[in-house]
Amino acid sequence: MRNAPFEIRPIAGAIGAELYGVTLSDDLPGEIISAIRQALLDHLVIFFRDQDLPPVRLLGFARRLGTPIEYPFLRGIEGFPEIINVAKFEHETVNFGGVWHSDTTYLEEPPMATLLVAREVPEAGGDTLFANQYLAYETLSETMRGVLAGLRSVSSSGKADASRTREDRIRSDGSADACKLLVAEHPVVRTHPETGRQALYINRAHTVSIAGMTPEESLPLLEFLFRHQVRPEFTCRFHWTPGALAIWDNRCVQHYAVNDYPGHRRIMQRITLAGDKPR
């Protein structure tokens, strides 16, 4: 991205960049917001360090990028229903988001993007991995791309890999709909509405089957794709520091919260932005 009004430093060959020289709590002009959005489209996930973003400022900035929506299973923090705590405490063993996934693909209109800010982080560990789903699709053989063309997948909020990672937070912060089962069907390969590029749009946490097939019939194809779409060369890794903010494009990115800090706490706050129906 040439002539950007801030510095952009890619952190890996496939995905991810840190942005420097912008204070997100300021009343940013429209051209800066547009440049941030373009950096997100170019790099798929972008990071900012040392930002002063208490909830009111975090929500204010999020509203400049899109429309914040409430998470279906957890109550928001007091006074801010769109902001949820993503926490793991010292006594807990399972973390929230500790499986490769795109956020809430069991919704008919999954979120466009997610903002995650670090409040408390362990001295070591607690990184997040991100994977480029454009590359996951583009590196498949032409024959495999032909096989996937037109296929649809079924996502469920009840898949055990994901539901287990949010059990602790539902016990403490569960909403009235915490036990509700949500199911949606989406293309296996979606076309990004802004870039026009195609991306794999299944994930291990929520995808249960190929539409029209039983889970057993779907399993071999899905297992191959689940492994392929998070190959190391498609990924980047981000080390959190207090006040760091990540924004990722949920339409073409998967992420994984690494659970490697036993006996320590990690407190984050998250906002998701409304998206559209995948096509």
101 in catalytic set:
yes
pLDDT of res. 180 = 84
Look at residues 42, 64, 66 and name the one whose alpha carbon lies nearest to residue 53: 64
Nearest to 82 by CA among 92, 67, 65: 67
Give the Cα-Cα-Cα angle 270, 28, 120 (nearest 5 degrees): 30
pLDDT score recorded for residue 13: 98
C-beta atoms surrounding 167 within 10 Å: 12
Given pLDDT bands bounded at 50, 70 and 90, which one contains residue 96? confident
Which of 101, 166, 169, 251 is catalytic? The answer is 101
Q: Reply yes or no on whether 103 is catalytic.
A: yes
Position 172 pLDDT exceeds 70: no
Cβ atoms of 8 and 39 within 8 Å: the answer is yes
Q: Is 228 a residue of the active site? A: no
Q: Rounded to 5 degrees, what are φ and ψ at 146?
A: -65, -40
- 72 CB contacts (<8 Å, ≥6 apart)? 104, 107, 157, 175, 177, 180, 182
User: pLDDT grade, residue 2 (50/70/90)?
Assistant: low
Q: In percent, how much of the chain has pLDDT > 70?
A: 92
Which are the contacts of 213, defined by CB distance < 8 A and separation ≥ 6? none
At position 61, the amino acid (one-letter code) is F
Domain ranges of the chain: 7-273
Q: At what angle do helices 30-43 and 55-65 cross, to 10 degrees?
A: 80
User: Is 255 considered catalytic here?
Assistant: yes
pLDDT tens column, 31-84? 999 999 999 999 999 999 999 999 999 999 999 999 999 999 889 999 999 999
Mean pLDDT of 122-150: 98
Q: Are 115 and 55 in contact (CB under 8 A)?
A: no
What number is the average pLDDT over the span 239-250?
A: 98
What is the model's pLDDT at position 89? 95
Q: What is the mean pLDDT of the chain?
A: 94
Question: Residue 146 CA to chain centroid, in angstroms?
Answer: 27
Q: Summarize pLDDT for 256-265 with one digit per residue, the tens.
A: 999 999 999 9
Q: What is the mean pLDDT of residues 165-172?
A: 60
pLDDT in tens, 9-19: 999 999 999 99
Comparison of pLDDT for 170 and 123, the residue scoring more:
123
pLDDT surpasses 90 at 178 = no
Radius of gyration of the chain (CA): 18
* CATH architecture observed for domain 7-273: 4-Layer Sandwich (3.60)
Catalytic one of 37, 75, 103, 192: 103
Specify the pLDDT at position 171.
65
Question: Mean of the pLDDT values across residues 197-212?
Answer: 97
CA distance 256 to 177: 25
C-alpha to C-alpha distance for 71 and 272, rounded to whole angstroms: 8
